[in-house]
Amino acid sequence: MKQRLLRQIPPIHELQKDEAYITLLKSGDLSDDLLTEWLQEAVAEVRSQILNEIWTEEASIKESIFTAVSARLSKHFDYTLKKVINGTGTVLHTNLGRAILSEQAIKQVIVAATSYSNLEYGLEEGARGSRHALIEDIVKEVTGAEAAMVVNNNAAAVYFVLTAFAKGREVIVSRGELVEIGGSFRVSSIMEESGAHLKEIGTTNKTHYKDYEAAISCETAMLMKVHTSNFKTIGFTSAVESKDLTKLAKEKEVILYEDLGSGALYDLSQHGIGDEPHVSEVLAQGVDLVTFSGDKLLGGPQAGIIAGSKKLIDRLKKHQLARVLRVDKMTLAALEATLKSYIDSNTALKEIPTLKMIVKSKEEIKQESEQFTSMLSKEWNSELIEDFSMVGGGTMPDVQLETWLLLLSHPNKKTQEMIEALRLGETAVVTRVKDDKIAIDFRTISSNDYDELLTRLELVKEV
Ligand SMILES: *Cc1c(COP(=O)(O)O)cnc(C)c1O
């Protein structure tokens, strides 16, 4: 029986003459060699199915071979990193790639990617230049810093500052600020990795000025403040603000450094949203160095921005690690364009998608949800309920943005099955679930995506 089936497998040269093979060859514009390799793999697959007795008699052998080849072909044209429609309402969803770039940033990325550029070439001098110089002036302009540089991400920036200025020496941190961000970034671990010695002071809920004062010794290199981005201590608490430590740091000749995490350049509190410290305010208070992320509240590409004292930044620029942690030209292009929007804060609000989505009002979201619902076919059960969206990215955890959720269910389909199908299809759609219904928050959905979202929803209710 097995032998009979195995004998039915056509030889490769015969399969190559088949109409189906010729069609595949034309459709993918691929070489004969590659397609032949896939054909051989498909034949081996069918052969092993027959040998392992998992072959189903109904299927034609030749058909199965070509089905396997065309599956391999579609996989070849499929990307692993793909577009997702974010229906969760979480603006800086870390798992979904954090910030979406502004149009200006996207344009600049394309310029950097498609042409040669003055990445490390001084056009005025006609000689080698520095990639740090490209971005420094704009960071200075929007933060008021004396100097600045950019590295791979904020985790890298924290590591760099600690290792460059405190390796083998002590860094004083309040126990209330020894945070873990997103599972893989812990202040204590990054400190250990950097070679700096952590000196914890105070307690989880209270740290006083006198704790800092008492902890400083000749071993101390730095006082480090960490913005507790992703959690809040409430109740019986007290912490010392950076501005109250500047004098102490100067007197004792230690560096005062603050890891700001998100690093706001736009004041969202004017919209009643959170109380994130503004980068320029923190620097104006006399902190020597700050670091913050490019792809959190700033709304740009993944990057870590280090800003502050020129004397210290100059040392970082000359450090061996500056090369190790440097960013590429596309990041620099996107970051420069993003930062330019912040020269005028009205412009920032108009151009930066992250800011636009965060301040999007409940009423706008309701209108958008209603507009979308009117496009859906009548079989869907839909309702709108009041709920909250999150900023995300470990930023402003206590801020709940008021929103409306569109709840969808279908009389003939299980919600869980539809949610899974939405995730697995093309374009992938990630939603929330509420009361066993598909829950979509239009805060994070652009009207450009309505058609695609509609197509996907109408499709998953059918399969
Ligand atoms: C997010 C965050 C980091 C890590 O920043 P990445 O840009 O994700 O590397 C470090 N410190 C704080 C306080 C943060 O909030």
Residue 324's φ and ψ, nearest 5 degrees, are -65, -40
CATH number, position 178: 3.40.640.10
Consecutive H or E run containing 402: strand 401-409
Nearest to 335 by CA among 303, 375, 370: 303
Nearest to 224 by CA among 270, 259, 182: 259
Q: From 281, 298, 315, give the residue that closes a domain.
A: 315
pTM for this predicted structure: 0.91
Of 150, 151, 154, 305, best ligand 1 pocket probe by most atoms within 8 Å of the beta carbon: 154
Q: Distance between CA atoms of 54 and 57, rounded to whole angstroms?
A: 9
Q: Is 28 left (phi over 0), alpha (psi -120 to 50) or beta?
A: alpha
Q: Are the beta carbons of 399 and 230 closer than 8 angstroms?
A: no
Separation of CA 155 and ligand 1 centre (Å): 6
Q: Is residue 344 part of a domain?
A: no
Does residue 305 have its Cβ closer than 6 Å to ligand 1?
no
Length of the chain: 463
Does residue 298 have its Cβ closer than 6 Å to ligand 1?
no
For residues 156 and 247, membership in a common domain is answered with yes
Q: Is residue 241 part of a domain?
A: yes
Q: Name all contacts of 11-16 with Cβ < 8 Å and 24+ positions apart.
A: 12/36, 12/39, 12/40, 12/43, 15/39, 15/43, 15/62, 15/65
Q: Are the beta carbons of 224 and 175 closer than 8 angstroms?
A: no
CA distances from 35 to 38, 183, 308 (A): 5, 43, 57
For residues 216 and 308, membership in a common domain is answered with yes
Q: The tokens of 273 are what?
A: 């949203």
Does residue 261 have its Cβ closer than 6 Å to ligand 1?
yes
Share of the chain above pLDDT 90, in %: 78
Q: The tokens of 14 are what?
A: 């015969």
Give the three-state DSSP class for 238: strand
For residues 283 and 165, membership in a common domain is answered with yes
For residues 308 and 454, membership in a common domain is answered with no
Separation of CA 283 and ligand 1 centre (Å): 18
Query: Which atom from ligand 1 is nearest to the alpha carbon of 94?
Result: 8
Separation of CA 6 and ligand 1 centre (Å): 58
Residue identifier of the C-alpha nearest atom 12 of ligand 1 = 261
Residue identifier of the C-alpha nearest atom 6 of ligand 1 = 154
Which residues does residue 223 pair with via DSSP β-bridges, in sequence order?
A: 172, 256
Separation of CA 315 and ligand 1 centre (Å): 23
Q: Distance between CA atoms of 381 and 411, rounded to whole angstroms?
A: 8
Q: From 264, 293, 315, give the residue that closes a domain.
A: 315
Does residue 223 have its Cβ closer than 6 Å to ligand 1?
no
For residues 157 and 289, membership in a common domain is answered with yes
Q: The tokens of 351 are what?
A: 């151009």
For residues 60 and 13, membership in a common domain is answered with yes
Consecutive H or E run containing 405: strand 401-409
Please report the pLDDT score of residue 463 as a whole number. Answer: 75
Residue partners of 348: CB distance under 8 A and separation at least 6: 265, 266, 341, 342, 355
Does residue 226 have its Cβ closer than 6 Å to ligand 1?
yes
Q: Given the DSSP bridges, would you call strands 401-409 and 180-181 parallel, antiparallel or unpaired?
A: unpaired
pLDDT tens digits for range 175-218: 999 887 766 788 889 999 999 999 999 988 889 999 999 999 99
Q: From 263, 281, 315, give the residue that closes a domain.
A: 315
Q: Are the beta carbons of 262 and 391 closer than 8 angstroms?
A: no
pLDDT tens-digit profile, the chain (463 residues): 788 888 889 999 999 999 989 888 888 788 889 999 999 999 999 899 889 988 776 678 888 899 899 889 888 888 999 999 999 999 999 999 999 999 999 999 999 999 999 999 999 999 999 989 899 999 999 999 999 999 999 999 999 999 999 999 999 999 999 887 766 788 889 999 999 999 999 988 889 999 999 999 999 999 999 988 666 666 677 788 888 999 999 999 999 999 999 989 999 999 999 989 999 999 999 999 999 999 999 999 999 999 999 999 999 999 999 999 999 999 999 999 999 999 999 999 999 999 999 999 999 999 999 999 999 999 999 999 999 999 998 888 889 999 999 999 999 999 999 999 999 998 999 999 999 999 999 999 999 999 999 999 999 998 7
The C-alpha angle with vertex 28 and arms to 23 and 31, in degrees rounded to 5, equals 95
Does residue 172 have its Cβ closer than 6 Å to ligand 1?
no
User: Domain span at residue 46?
Assistant: 2-76
Of 153, 174, 181, 295, best ligand 1 pocket probe by most atoms within 8 Å of the beta carbon: 181
Give, as one character, the DSSP assignment of residue 121: E
pLDDT tens digits for range 88-147: 999 999 999 999 999 999 999 999 999 999 999 999 999 999 989 899 999 999 999 999
Q: Is the dihedral of CA 244, 247, 252, 254 positive or negative?
A: positive
Residue identifier of the C-alpha nearest atom 1 of ligand 1 = 261
Separation of CA 57 and ligand 1 centre (Å): 57
For residues 180 and 290, membership in a common domain is answered with yes
Q: Is residue 324 part of a domain?
A: no
Please report the pLDDT score of residue 2 as a whole number. Answer: 82
For residues 13 and 149, membership in a common domain is answered with no
Q: Distance between CA atoms of 383 and 370, rounded to whole angstroms?
A: 9
Q: Is residue 261 part of a domain?
A: yes
Q: Are the beta carbons of 296 and 276 closer than 8 angstroms?
A: no
pLDDT tens digits for range 233-246: 666 777 888 889 99
CA dihedral 50, 53, 58, 61 (to 10 degrees): -10
Query: Which atom from ligand 1 is nearest to the alpha carbon of 182?
Result: 1
Give the number of domains in the chain: 3
Q: Is residue 257 part of a domain?
A: yes
DSSP code per residue over 153-172: -HHHHHHHHHHHHHTTSEEE
For residues 167 and 31, membership in a common domain is answered with no
Q: Given the DSSP bridges, would you call strands 401-409 and 147-151 parallel, antiparallel or unpaired?
A: unpaired
Residue identifier of the C-alpha nearest atom 7 of ligand 1 = 154
Q: Is residue 110 part of a domain?
A: no
For residues 16 and 89, membership in a common domain is answered with no
Query: Which atom from ligand 1 is nearest to the alpha carbon of 157?
Result: 9
CA distances from 113 to 6, 71, 128, 181, 429 (A): 51, 32, 20, 32, 28
For residues 161 and 309, membership in a common domain is answered with yes
For residues 399 and 436, membership in a common domain is answered with yes
For residue 76, count CB atoms less than 10 angstroms from its CB and return exposed for 0-12, middle for 13-18, buried for 19 or more.
exposed
Give the three-state DSSP class for 390: coil
